[in-house]
Structure 1
Amino acid sequence: MPRTKPLRPLSEIIASKLQFAVDVLKNAPSMMVLETQLPWCHSQLYKKYMPRAMQDAYSCCSLYMSRNETNTPVIMSLLDARTDDLLSTPQPTTLIELLARAHALLLYQIMRLFAGDVRSHATANALFGTLESTVIDLYGNLYFPSPSESKELLPLSMDPIIEFWEWWIVQESARRTILLTFFFIQIYKVLQGNPSVHCDGKLGITSHSWYLSAQLWNAQSAFDFAVAWAEKDHFVVRDLDFTAALENAQPDDVDLFGRMLMVTLLGIDGAKAWFYSKGAIM
């Protein structure tokens, strides 16, 4: 087995595009514990039901936040045990359980890779294949909107709006999770100094799309979501093509997930310049 490489510091040019995303990833365990959300996991996703896979990952994130020089070996050992437990279970068949499995694996990977423990990297390497297969199974269960599709009017009564919002939360979380997973894999390759990393805009996925709309993503109720859907522009980003969004979106349309990908596309100075040109500070 080849020796696992330690993570390398980013060069200045690469850092201008990836450091923002790396910082978001590093903060993911803390954000999950404190806010029960991630840029790719909606704050309401697990409000009614959190599958066991995510319960365990949530507990590990909490422990990870408390690590120090003395307790880190024990905490990482517990993380390994929870990961082994997850891998010993069969692949789920329901969308929410499958999504929870993907979120748990992502969090375990993030904690391993950024814990500063090189010994954890070998285990993380072995898990990327499992993570990929999980999100590929997600792919077949999703609806991917087209940038050219017209914005449908939502029903006037609340019951179908609530049903649509709850469906949208799961779908959008899954769409973002798929994209984030393959993006994370590319970042990891760069951090390991892999010179063959190439991004075609699709990150190895056949095709993908997601909604760029902070108002939709941050809505905390079906009513707020319906108002944002009706009154605010929202943009569908397909295969990381931000052309329409860069031309027509406003700074308050761009949530943290959008900022992370926008910085990767434009570089940190380019992203700051876009926000400034629209009268805002990133």
Structure 2
Amino acid sequence: MTKMDYWLKQLNLFFVALSFFTRLPIPKWVEFDNDKLNHSSRYFGLVGAVVGSISAVSFWLAQLILPASIAVIIAIVVGVMVTGGFHEDGLGDTADGFGGGWTVADKLRIMKDSRLGSYGALALGLGLLLKWQLLVELALYSPLAAMSGLLVAHTLSRVLAASIIFTEQYVRDEDGKSKPLAQQQSLDDLFILFASGLAILLWLNGVVAFVLLMILWGLRLLLVSFFKRQIGGYTGDTLGAAQQISELVCYMVILAVGLS
């Protein structure tokens, strides 16, 4: 394989990841199959950087003419529009399944239901409210703090969620109606995924980067343990929930440590 072929393959994998997690247009020449979807997980963090950058730019433009609190709402809305609410949907489904099901089969069945239940509505409502408040506090400190928070949190949260694929067992739906999902990772995939996370940490000072790294590692352990107790592994919905929860934690750490 020539260097040109190698980089074209990597670009193809990136566009596969981008098409999977966002509504952004991609070139028509991009090829899709299960193997490419599995290996595209290496670029999930980079996709997060794209989404975070778009949200950050939206916030910056909005805050030039509107109050910071309104600009934050616009940034959140833009982020949801870019992803199609992909991860928020996972959080809602996970909350409904874990909150309303008694057995593993019940939880998986509820998580596949397209209707939103009370647990899911509460999780989404409280999650969005907390996200808005945290970003408002960052924005009141400085617009750059909010923009940095968006970029860092969107990237690292997707790195954390995608890393679960490497170590944990995918819980298959018995009726085979699960959403397409990257279910395998190689060491190369994991290395590139972590490299994107480490690169984005350079955006922060050393203390904040170290605290974020330690807290997110601990959060990953807690989430994995919780998912195992609930359903014995992970699904696409639980990965979405992991992304949303870790995104919120990133904002909290940056606000508590980075601005103290």
Short-chain TM bin: under 0.3
Q: TM-score, normalised by structure 2?
A: 0.28
Q: Higher relative contact order at CA 8 Å, sep ≥6: structure 1 or structure 2?
A: 2
- Work out which of the two has the higher radius of gyration on C-alpha atoms and give 1 or 2: 1
Q: Which has a greater percent of helix?
A: 2
